[in-house]
Amino acid sequence: MRLRFVLVLVVMLIAIGNAQALYIKEKPSVTVSIAGTNHLKRGTNVITLIAYNPAEEKRIIYDNPEQAMFFKGRESLLFTAYNVSFELEGNKYIEVKTPVQKIPAIPPMKPIQLKFIVKVKDSAKAGEYELKLKVKYDIIHDVDVNFGVQQFAIPTVYNISGNYSQYGTVSNYEISQYLNELYIDYTHKELEIPIKVYVDKEDVRLEVLSVKTENFEAKGKGLVTVKVKNIGEKTGKNAFLVLITPNGFSVKANPPAMMQMPIGQTPMTPTTMPVMPTGQIPSAMMPSTSAMPPAMQSLLTSTNAVFVGDLKPGEVVEATFPVKIEVSDGGNYTFEIKAVYLDEYGNVLESKPVPFGVYVSPPPKIEIKSVESKVYVGSSGDVIVRLRIDKPLKEASVILKVNPPLSILSSEYYLGNVVPNKDYEAIFKVEALKEAVAVVYPATLIVKYKSMNEWTESDPIRIGIKVNPKLRFEIIGIPKIAQGEEKVITVKIKNLGNFTLREATARITIVDPFTSTDDTAYIGTLKPGEAKNISFKIKVDKDATPKLYGLNLEVKYKDPEGDWAISEPTKLVIKVTPAKPNFALLGGILAVVLLTAIGYALKRRH
């Protein structure tokens, strides 16, 4: 007979007495094991755990037929752990970063993976540590099933079918019922599972104890000495200290004058090292190249690596690096240092780079006090630069660089050892080509000096070099000469420049209607503002038009540098006048005329 009942499903937690309890032989539980490694390093690690429910569906004793009917085909529900939560608790040295992890249900024999992020503090010592995993879950304790009368159009049907034998007759049956009410009683469980982990001995880890610098200034070369301590728990064999520089810095070749040794031990210098063949280093100090792994062989010739030998836990060593400083600005810069070494298995390892700050002092401040130019168009002259430097410099010199139409005749001036804030003069010989004009031309100055036995140059400094116009003269006086006359004319020539001429001569350029047998006049020395007479012998054609004529006059002279120069042409003005009467001839003619007249008169009288 088919029974039809209504389904009304209400899930409730109720307390059912032990006498009515559902019996399950293998109750659900949670077991946890570590997957992968449980060895941790200082810093952030991931612990992987496998959680599973080991319950087996072996034996169930139902309290009533309704329970059996409900769980038929659903027996695994009775062996499942519900509302499972996992919380890993750390300790003083191991901090757990992952919060509580919750799983709705864990069926039997279906493992799940859990990952916990933990951070091991630097202060943790190597050894075994125990973490606690708190597990909470619920299991089914009892169930009350009530099949009722059908009340819904679409009921939930539970079918039971089978056969039975009575009086030798076999009958088949099928019972369909509808679930009315379901009450489930859960039991809450809590576990605390110890999780054992091991903090490994720490690899080599450096701590910077002190930093010393020498001559560490911008645009120079200096030394940086770093004292470090191995605060790890392992020994780094055949260790190198490697300096990592920021942009604008480079480690120069490290002279093999000293192998770095632990603090407190006397380093072996060239005077204390045993005598070895050229190019060899005592094997007690540094292993041979062939004995080192390829990854470390390059460090033997690297400029930024210093060999320190075996670096034991707690040991303090220091290394000195010569650094080329290419930055132009002073300030604080961040460097890093690390150790490259062999572990106990011969593997090449590197410690984590440790940053440290280095102060770079500003470069020497070069103040240009003045620039005096004695350069004239078409000639050479001195350029005198007066400057002041705020720091002591060794073997300093000043270098001048120019571009056409200027050319440099002496480009470097030696200052020697510079005393801070003292005024210095640097004198250069510069020539201005004839194509130059009287303007200020740009040029650059560089101060070159020695820093840690290496030449260093300052940043270029722009200056201006004034090119003076060619020396000018004034011709005083306008000589006169009559048509057809030849004579010596004399004028005054005045020096309008600001320096004294030496061995000067004046020369005129003869053009029609003039000729000359002496177109050159010697001046000699002519000081600024001074005037001297100069004379030339010239002749003018008798057919020359009476008027003012201009002849070009140039002066060739030695400038203050002793170089020959020729001035720009200056006009020598000459006035040509009409020819003068010939009074002797006129007198003779008059005398003849007079005598003739007298003779004629006497003749008529007689």
pLDDT tens-digit map of 384-402: 999 999 999 999 999 999 9
> Three-state DSSP class for 282?
coil
Low-confidence ranges of the chain (pLDDT < 70): 1-24, 147-180, 253-291, 581-588, 604-606
CA distance 121 to 99: 19
CA distance 216 to 245: 14
Q: What are phi and psi of 321, to 5 degrees?
A: -125, 130
CA distance 266 to 12: 83
Domain 11-199 listed as CATH 2.60.40.10? yes
Is the distance from CB of 543 to CB of 485 less than 8 angstroms? no
Residue that is written with structure tokens 């085909």 in the block: 73
Fold of 206-265+298-360: Immunoglobulin-like (2.60.40)
Please measure the distance between the N-terminal and C-terminal CA atoms of the chain and give it in whole angstroms.
214
Task: For residue 194, say if its preceding peptide bond is cis, omega within 30 degrees of 0.
Answer: no
Closest CA to 317 of 355, 273, 264: 264
Q: How many CB atoms lie within 10 A of CB 97?
A: 13
Strand 39-40 relative to strand 169-199, pairing? parallel
Listed in order, the ranges of the chain carrying CATH 2.60.40.10 are 11-199, 206-265+298-360, 473-577
CA distance 547 to 202: 110
CA distance 134 to 194: 9
CA distance 30 to 52: 6
pLDDT of residue 553: 94
Is the distance from CB of 96 to CB of 116 less than 8 angstroms? yes
pLDDT for 131-149, tens place per residue? Answer: 999 999 999 888 777 765 4
Strand 454-457 relative to strand 440-451, pairing? antiparallel
- Considering the domain 473-577 in this protein, what is its CATH number? 2.60.40.10
Is the distance from CB of 540 to CB of 480 less than 8 angstroms? no
Distances (CA, A) of 213 to 244, 320, 330, 365, 394: 16, 9, 14, 21, 19
> Three-state DSSP class for 399?
strand
- Say which CATH class 366-468 falls into: mainly beta
Task: State the number of CA atoms in the 13 A half-sphere of 579 facing the CB.
Answer: 13
Q: Give Cβ neighbours of residue 150 (< 8 Å, ≥ 6 apart).
A: 4, 5, 6, 178
Go through the chain and tell me how many residues it has.
Answer: 606
pLDDT of residue 167: 56
Listed in order, the ranges of the chain carrying CATH 2.60.40.770 are 366-468
Type of residue found at 574: I
